[in-house]
Structure 1
Amino acid sequence: MRKLKINIVFGITVLLLGCMAKLPEIVATIVTEQTPHDTDDPAIWINPKDASKSIVFGTDKDTDGGIYAFDLKGKIIKNKSITNVKRPNNIDLEYGFKLNDSTKVDVIAFTERERHQIRLFSVPEMNPLDHGGFKVFTDVTEPEFNLPMGIALYKSSKTERLYAIVGRKAGPMEGYLYQYEIVSDSLGVHANFVRSFGAFSGKKEIEAIAVDNETGIVYYSDEKHCIRKYYAEPSMGDKEIYCFGGEYFKQDIEGIAIAKYEDKGFLIVSNQQSNTFNIFDLKTNVFIKEINLGTTETDGCDVTTESLGSAFPNGLFVSMNNDRNFYFHDLATLKLIE
C-alpha cells in the first residue's frame, strides 16, 4: 500500500513538472526597434519589384498612436509610417485593389478605435484613400459596441471584390462581426455595409481575424472559448462551420496567421498567457504542436511563405512582443514542414 502511494505521488509530481516545463525558445532572427507606446498587430507587404525591400507594418496602440513601418532589419521607416492615429488596434493588407479601370493599388486597412472607424491607405505610397475614415457599427447604441478592434481584408477569388471584416471591443451573441465592401467610383472610395455575422460566447471579446482568400474562409478568436470558422463569401451564408481548439489555450486565444504552402496549410495562433503559439492543420483543424518564439503576451501576428531575399529566404513570421516591438522569425525555424 505504501509503495502504491509513493508511485502515485511520484506520478503526480512528474505530471506537474511536465506541465510547468517551458518549451525551448526558437530565437528571433530580428527584433525590431521599439514604438512609443504599445505594439499590437502586424501586416507584411511583399514588394513585387524586390522582395528584400518588403515592409512590415505594425500598430502602436494609444490615443497618440500610429502605424509604424519596418524594414526587414527591424528599423523604423519614418516616411512610410502614419502617426496621429487615435488608438489603432489591428491591421491587414491586400493586393491589387481596383481604384479605376486602369489603376490597381495595394492597400493597408486598420481600425481606429477612438474615432469609431477604419482607415485605408495605399502601399507603398501611403496615400489615404478613405476621406479621413469610414465609420463602422453606426447602427448600435450600446456602450463599446461601436469600438472597432480587429480587422481582416478579404479579396474574393470569385468576384475580385474587396471586403473588410471588422470586430469590436464588445458585441452581441450573434452578429458580432460586420462586413463592408470597399468600392471605388467617380466620387472616391467607400465602405458599404454588407452583413453582420458571427457567434460570440460572451466570455471576453473578439479581436483577431484572418481570412484565407483562396478558400473564402474567415477565422476569428472568441478569446476564452474557441477559434470560430465561417464563410467570408457573403453568398455562402452565415452558418458557422466549426468552433475548435479552445482546449489547447491557457486563457486568451489571440492573433491568427495563415501559412499556406502548395500542398499544406497551417493556422498559427497566439496562446497569449502561455507566451507560446499553437499550430493547427488549416484543412482539418487538428492541433499539431505548440512552440515558444520568445515573445511575451502576444496579440497579433502575420506570416508569408514567400522568400523575402537573403534575410528571410524561407518566408517570414512576425509577432507582437510586449516590450513595444515585434519579433521576426525566418519561417523555417518554426519547422512547419518537417
Structure 2
Amino acid sequence: MRNSIILIVAIIFLSCDKKLPPVDPDIVSEKVQYDTDDPAIWVHPTDASKSIVFGTDKDTNGAIYAFDLKGKVIAGKTIRNIKYPNNIDVEYGFRINDSITVDVIVFTERERNRIRLFSVPDMKPLDNGGFQVFEEETDFELRRPMGISLYKDPVSKNIYAIVSRKSGPAHDYLHQYQFISDSTGIRTKLARKFGKFSEEKEIEAIAVDDELGFVYYSDEGVGIRKYYADPAKGNEELAVFGGEYFKDDIEGIAIAAKPNGEGVLIVSDQQKGQFNLFSRKENSFIRAVNLGTIATDGCDVVTIPLNTMFTEGLFVAMNEQRDFYFYNLEKLGL
C-alpha cells in the first residue's frame, strides 16, 4: 500500500510541470570567466563572517574562485590556470604531522586526470602538482575525474576523497582514495572501488554525511544511490531513491545536517530549475523549492550562523549565468 501511495504522489508531482514561485537569493556572486559548476563553503574557525565560498570555473584554462560572503571575488585566494576544474569539496583538520592540522579543499582537474589538494585559507598546494586517479584504466576517457566529495572518519580522523568520472563501467564507477601524510610527504592510497551505475547518463554529484557515515551520489537518469562512506563497512548498496520526483537529470547534492540526525538532503532538479528536499533520516521526499537558479549542477550548505545576513546558515547554488546564488538557510524553510 505504501509503495502505491508513493507512486501516486510521484505521478501527480511529475504531471504538474508548473514551477513553484521563485525565492530570490540574498546575494548573487560576481561572475566567473567561463562556466560555474560546483561550490564548497569553508567556515572560518574563529570568525564565521570571514568564511569563504569556493566555486569552480569549468574550462581548459579554468579556476577555483574564492568569494567572500558578499559574493565578491577574493583575488588573492583564487587559484587559476587549472585544466578544467569540475567539482570541489572542503574538509577540516587534515593532519600534516603530529603537531600541525590544516583545513583543505580538494577538487578534480579533469584534463590532467588528477585531483588537487590545497590548504585553506592560505591556499597553499599540498599535492606536489596533483594526484592521479583511475590509473589502471587503459581507456583514457575512463580516467577523466568529475565529481568529488570528502569523508573524514570520526574515529581514525583519516580523510578520503570519493571520486567519480565523466564515463565509467556499470560497477565500481567510483574510487575512494585516502590522503596519507608522513615523513615522505603527502600521497593518496586507493582504499576501494565501488558504486553501481545505470549506464544511462553519468555520475557527477557526490555528497558525504560524515556524522551518519553515508555517501550519496546522483545516478543522473535513475535516482540517488546510498552507500556506507567507511570502506571497512563494505560496498553493499543501501538504497536507491528519489528518481520519480525529478523531471530529467538528478544533479547537485547538499546535506543540511541538524542535531540528532535530523536535517535534509537538498538535490538539484536540473531541467526543472528546482530543488527537491529529502529527509536525512528516512530519505523520504519532503517537498520542492524553486530558488530561481537555472540548470544547477552543484550546491553546498552549512547550518550554522555566519553573519547578520546568513543568520540560520548558508545555501549556495551554481547558476548557469556564470555566477552563484547565496541564500540564508531560512529561505528554504529549514
TM-score range, shorter chain: over 0.9
Structure 1 unaligned segments of length 5 or more: list them.
Answer: 1-14
Instruction: Give the match's secondary structure for 2:111.
Output: helix
3-state SS in 2 of match to 1:313? coil
Equivalent residue for 1:310?
308
Once residues 58 and 121 of structure 1 are traced to their aligned partners in structure 2, the CA distance between those partners, rounded to angstroms, is: 14
Aligned with residue 279 of structure 1, among 257, 277, 280: 277
Q: Which residue of 1 aligns with 2:59?
A: 62
SS at match of 1:75: coil
The structure 2 residue matched to 1:52, chosen from 46, 49, 52, is 49
Give 1:177's aligned residue.
Answer: 174
Could you give the per-residue CA deviations for residues 181-236 of structure 1, whole angstroms, max 9, x where no partner exists?
00101121111111100000000110000000011100000001010000010110
What is the aligned partner in structure 1 of residue 131 from structure 2?
134
Aligned AA (1:174): H
Paired residues of 1:257 and 1:269 also in contact (CA < 8 A): yes
Where 1:114 maps in the other structure, the secondary structure is: helix
Which amino acid is 1:248 matched to? Y
* SS of residue matched to 1:171: coil
Shift of 1:50: 0.6
Out of 259, 273, 276, the residue aligned to residue 256 of structure 2 is 259
Q: Deviations over 1:262-285 (max 9, x none)?
A: 141200000000000000001101
Partner of 1:298: 296
**1:311 Cα shift?**
2.2
1-structure distance, mates of 2:112, 2:292: 34
The residue that corresponds to 2:20 in the other structure is 23
Amino acid in the other structure paired with 1:137: F
CA distance in 2, matches of 1:241, 1:142: 30
Displaced runs of 4+ in structure 1, greater than 6 A?
Answer: 15-18
Amino acid at match of 1:324: R
State the SS of the aligned residue for 1:175: coil
Q: Quick check: which has more Rg, 1 or 2? A: 1
Structure 2 residue runs without a partner (length 5+): 1-11
Q: Pick one of 316, 319, 323 that aligns with 2:317.
A: 319
For 1:214, which of 202, 211, 214 is the aligned residue?
Answer: 211
2:81 is equivalent to residue 84 of structure 1: yes
Shift, 1:309, TM fit: 1.6
C-alpha distance in structure 2 between counterparts of 1:117 and 1:55, whole Å = 24
Separation of aligned partners in 1, 2:305 and 2:51: 10
Question: What is the aligned partner in structure 2 of residue 249 from structure 1?
Answer: 246
TM-score, length of structure 1 as denominator length: 0.94
Residue 161 of structure 2 corresponds to: 164
Aligned pair 1:117/2:77, yes or no?
Answer: no
Structure 1 contact 266–280 (Cα < 8 Å) conserved: yes
Q: CA RMSD in A?
A: 1.3
CA distance in 2, matches of 1:205, 1:316: 28
Instruction: Give the counterpart letter for 1:328 in structure 2.
Output: F
Deviation digits for residues 144-194 of structure 1, max 9, x if unmatched?
210000000000012111100000000010000000000101121111111
SS in 2 for 1:145: helix
Does the C-alpha gap of structure 1 residues 290 and 143 become closer, same or farther in structure 2, counting only changes over 3 Å? same
**Residues 224 and 98 (structure 1), Cα distance of their counterparts in 2 relative to 1, 3 Å cut:** same
Residue aligning to 2:267: 269
Question: What fraction of aligned residue pairs are identical, expressed as a percent?
Answer: 61
Contact 1:52 1:311 in 2 (8 A): no
CA drift at 1:73: 0.2
- Residue 88 (structure 1) shift: 0.2
